[in-house]
Amino acid sequence: MATPGRRRTSTPLWLTANAVGLAVLLVCIFPVYWMISRSTLPNNRIRTKDQTWLPLNPTNDNYGRVLDGDGFRNALTTSLAVTLMTVAVALLFAFLAAVAVSRFRFRGRASFIMTLLLIQMIPAEGLFISQYKMLEGMSLLNSVFGLTLVYVASVLPFTVWTLRGFVDGVPMELEEAAMMDGCSRLRAFFTVTLPLLAPGLVATGLFGFIQAWNEFTLALVVMTDPAKETLPVWLIGFSESRSRGVDWGAIMASSTLITIPVIVFFLIVQRRMVAGLTAGAVKG
Amino acid sequence: MSARSRARRTSLPLGLVLPAAALLALALAYPLGRQVVLSLQSFGLAQQFGAPPEWVGIQNYRDLVGDSYLWTVVLRTVIFCFVNAALTLGIGMGIAVLMTKMTSWVRIAAQCGLLLAWAMPVVAAMIVWQFLFDTEYGAVNAVLTWWGGDYESHSWLASPMSFFAVATLIVVWMSVPFVVFTLYAALTQVSDDVVEAAEIDGAGGWQRFVHVVLPSIRPVLLVVLLLQLIWDLRVFTQIYTLQKAGGITRDTNLLGTYIYSLGIKGGDFGTAAAAAMFMLALTVVVTAPYIRMMLKQED
């Protein structure tokens, strides 16, 4: 890889670049800092005209109020159920499809791949009306199964695509060598290829987790019963209703709680995501 | 090869693809077909009490096309999409190029910040930005007042222009990191030799950028642009939450929120389905060049 900045850079350009770099850092971090710092302040120190920039004497009262409330815990249960089911089903189905696409040449293979790429362009907003009517007809509105169904469909194309890349990365020769040694094809696959795919499965699973955990639009459409809301829908409702302007501390604490798992997982899969998003788009 | 094993060879991969294909057919293809049917039906009060929907032919489409509000919303959606995509790409490109000139610790610090902004769940980001722009206790009003502006209790979401300015700021803030990371990765792949050769030939910094660097990252740039257009066309969560926080819905609707308010809130599934077909058509129009490019590669 070429090392950037090896060529001599003029002083004004160098100064501008570094000033912009620091500005970018500030603009990116400030909202996150504000969310976390306000979540540790009592409301009487948030609801004031002169804001404290540094959160001295923090408190965990806000977190206590959120975690004790029924709303957050209900939504957490729903979110976890939907997210984990989505990841499990999507990984299984995508894994099988990825193996087929990567290891076999069969009729309809090319059109299957094309369909996956095209599906990724369908905006959820262009289809949620009929998905709503479909789930209504199947009595799956306000059901974790109904939401899981539409979630799996939306993460499946990307998941198949990413996993296919990982399966491609494991050379056929390894499997063939094991088969020479007397393994059946199935056994060779499970003992040789599958362990090598573990990192890929983890990364893809984490990506699906982030997608399903963050998703708002379909959850809003499918989960109309307040008792069945997922965390994002609950949070928006919480921030707009009785607590608006009253309990910003609790709102910031809930936002922080929802953000933490995403940031942790995101840092793990980030490198692969840059590659995956563009590779999925460039490669035929 | 025997006929039996050939049959096995074709049925095994098809069997492996089947679960994924069946699920996509059920959750996407079937609703897509159903939507066409819905868009030809009328839903009113009687249907809420269980009466079957009435067939109205293309009346829903006629109503929509004849309603100037739809065109206002479509125009607004397209403008919002292009402005946001252009700003995101412009700013992202600028940062990515300057990143190649930064001292390494500044670059790493900036990358960490961008990563954090990128990782932020959209809902959490919306809540924090709403809080920053809050009328009474928002940090933005506090800072602007402290600087001597007249921003005491200023409401940012009350007028459509200011509403969309805030929405744009948030959408761009959330989208720029992806663009920066992708373009920066592409920039580091540009061959140093070619750039140096251009320098020896007497090309200035700007000329080198336009004639050497830009053409070599063109494929990546195109993909990023098209992804950005698709994403900004379907922006829903940001607009919906800002509307909830105090925007005037009618003056700030984009296609996504319009479809939602027609169908899910209003119960008029026929018209909503027809409007959703507009949304799909718009997506096809915007992404047509990209799809053509893909089809060409596939051949």
**CA nearest to B283, candidates B226, B236, B218, B220:** B226
CA–CA separation, B71 vs B68, rounded Å? 5
Which of A73-77, A129-133, B78-82, B139-143 comes out lowest in average pLDDT?
B139-143
Q: Which long-range CB contacts under 8 A does B288-291 form with residues at least 24 apart?
A: B289/B226, B290/B222, B290/B223, B290/B226, B291/A118, B291/A121
pLDDT exceeds cutoff 50 at B2: no
Local confidence band at A245 (pLDDT 50, 70, 90 cut-offs): low
**CA nearest to B242, candidates B141, B134, B142:** B134
A129 and A15 part of one domain: no
pLDDT exceeds cutoff 60 at A253: yes
Structure confidence by residue, pLDDT tens digits, B17-59: 999 999 999 999 999 999 999 999 988 777 777 788 888 889 9
A41 and A89 part of one domain: no
pLDDT exceeds cutoff 60 at A244: no
Using a CB–CB cutoff of 8 Å, tell me whether A102 touches chain B: no
Name the CATH code of domain B55-298 (choices 3.30.70.920, 1.10.3720.10, 3.40.50.720, 1.10.10.10): 1.10.3720.10
A50 and A103 part of one domain: no
**Chain A 170-209, residues with CB within 8 Å of chain B CB atoms:** none
A152 and A19 part of one domain: no
Angle between helices A194-214 and A144-169 (to 10 degrees): 140
Which of A185-194, B75-84, B89-98 comes out lowest in average pLDDT?
A185-194
How much is the pLDDT for A281?
44
Helix (H, G, I), strand (E, B) or coil at A245: coil
A199 and A147 part of one domain: yes
A50 and A150 part of one domain: no
What residues of A are in contact with residue B208 (Cβ under 8 Å)?
A: none
A114 and A55 part of one domain: no
CA-to-CA dists, residue B117 to A26, A216, A266, B111, B175, angstroms: 11, 18, 11, 10, 9
Computed over every residue of chain B, the mean pLDDT equals 89
Which of A18-22, A265-269, B100-104, B173-177 comes out lowest in average pLDDT?
A265-269
Q: Identify which of B188, B233, B297 has the shortest CB distance to residue A4.
A: B188
A4 in any annotated domain: no
A230 and A160 part of one domain: yes
Contact B203, B212 (CB under 8 A): yes
Quote the tokens at residue B174.
């959330």
How much is the pLDDT for A124?
86
pLDDT exceeds cutoff 70 at A6: no
- Let me know the angle formed at the C-alpha of B214 by B209 and B215, rounded to the nearest 5 degrees: 125
CA–CA separation, B277 vs B271, rounded Å? 10
Q: What is Dmax (Cα atoms) for chain A?
A: 77
A127 and A52 part of one domain: no
Q: Do A9 and B101 touch (CB under 8 A)?
A: yes
Structure confidence by residue, pLDDT tens digits, A168-184: 888 888 888 888 888 88
pLDDT exceeds cutoff 90 at B202: no
**CA nearest to A102, candidates A200, A178, A206, A180:** A200
More confident residue, B3 or A80: A80
Chain B residue with minimal CA distance to A263? B119
Shortest distance, CA B86 to any CA of chain A (angstroms):
18
How much is the pLDDT for A90?
97
Give this complex's ipTM.
0.90
User: Can you tell me the mean pLDDT for B63-86?
Assistant: 94
Q: Where in the sequence is the domain holding A25, given as residue range(s)?
A: 11-59
User: Which of B10, B12, B17, B169 to substitute to test the interface with A, most A CBs within 10 Å?
Assistant: B17
Contact B259, A129 (CB under 8 A): yes
- Cβ pairs bridging A and B (under 8 Å): 324
A64 in any annotated domain: no
User: Which of A125, A221, A255 to substitute to test the interface with B, most B CBs within 10 Å?
Assistant: A125
A2 in any annotated domain: no
How much is the pLDDT for A242?
56
How much is the pLDDT for B201?
87
More confident residue, B203 or A88: A88
List alpha helices for chain A, DSSP H: 11-39, 43-46, 61-68, 70-103, 109-119, 128-137, 144-169, 172-180, 185-188, 194-214, 217-222, 231-240, 248-282
Q: Identify which of A38, A130, A259 has the shortest CB distance to residue B34.
A: A130
Number of domains in chain A: 2
> What does the DSSP 8-state code read for residue A2?
P
**Chain A 238-267, residues with CB within 8 Å of chain B CB atoms:** 239-240, 245, 248, 251-252, 255-256, 258-259, 262-263, 266-267
A16 and A80 part of one domain: no
A55 and A78 part of one domain: no
Local confidence band at A8 (pLDDT 50, 70, 90 cut-offs): low
Quote the tokens at residue A203.
């990364």
> What does the DSSP 8-state code read for residue B57?
T
Tell me what percent of the residues of chain A surpass a pLDDT of 90.
53
Using a CB–CB cutoff of 8 Å, tell me whether A167 touches chain B: no
Q: Which residues pair with B42 in a beta bridge?
A: B54
A5 in any annotated domain: no
CA–CA separation, A262 vs A258, rounded Å? 7
Structure confidence by residue, pLDDT tens digits, A187-236: 888 888 888 898 889 989 999 999 999 999 999 999 999 999 999 999 99
Computed over every residue of chain A, the mean pLDDT equals 87
pLDDT exceeds cutoff 80 at A279: no
A117 in any annotated domain: yes
Local confidence band at B6 (pLDDT 50, 70, 90 cut-offs): low
Local confidence band at B289 (pLDDT 50, 70, 90 cut-offs): confident
Structure confidence by residue, pLDDT tens digits, B257-283: 999 999 999 889 999 999 999 999 998
pLDDT exceeds cutoff 80 at A144: yes
A120 and A253 part of one domain: yes
